[in-house]
Amino acid sequence: MHATNRIRKIFTAVSIVFIAAMLVGAVARHPAKEMTPISPLVARTVSAPTIAEPTGEYQNGVPVYRLPSIAVTVSLSEALARIAREESLEAK
């Protein structure tokens, strides 16, 4: 009885390894096809939303972009309370 279970487990393990090897071999034999370059006409019709604006300047050969400004508002009492908490944690 024990020998039958052991043989069954060994056969199952070998089968799983064999199937996995076959799948890996199939993937390696048929690699994904390379993407064909998109024509300039198609590339112009698809546009992503612009987040930053180019400034026209270059730094180290890379264009410099300007991000949109954001407004940050904090009440003075909240800021002072947060600073006090941070200082009390640093003192410990």
Distance CA 67, CA 50 (A): 10
Structurally, how many domains does the chain consist of? 1
In a domain? residue 26: yes
Residues 54-89 have pLDDT tens digits of 888 888 988 888 888 888 888 999 999 999 999 998
This prediction has a pTM of 0.32
Q: Which domain does 18 fall in, by range? A: 1-30
The per-residue pLDDT for 69 is 82
In a domain? residue 50: no
Q: What is the DSSP string of the chain?
A: -HHHHHHHHHHHHHHHHHHHHHHHHHHHHSPPPPPPPPPHHHHHH--PPP-SEEEEEEETTEEEEEPPP------HHHHHHHHHHHHHHHH-
Lowest mean per-residue pLDDT among 9-18, 27-36, 40-49: 40-49
In a domain? residue 47: no
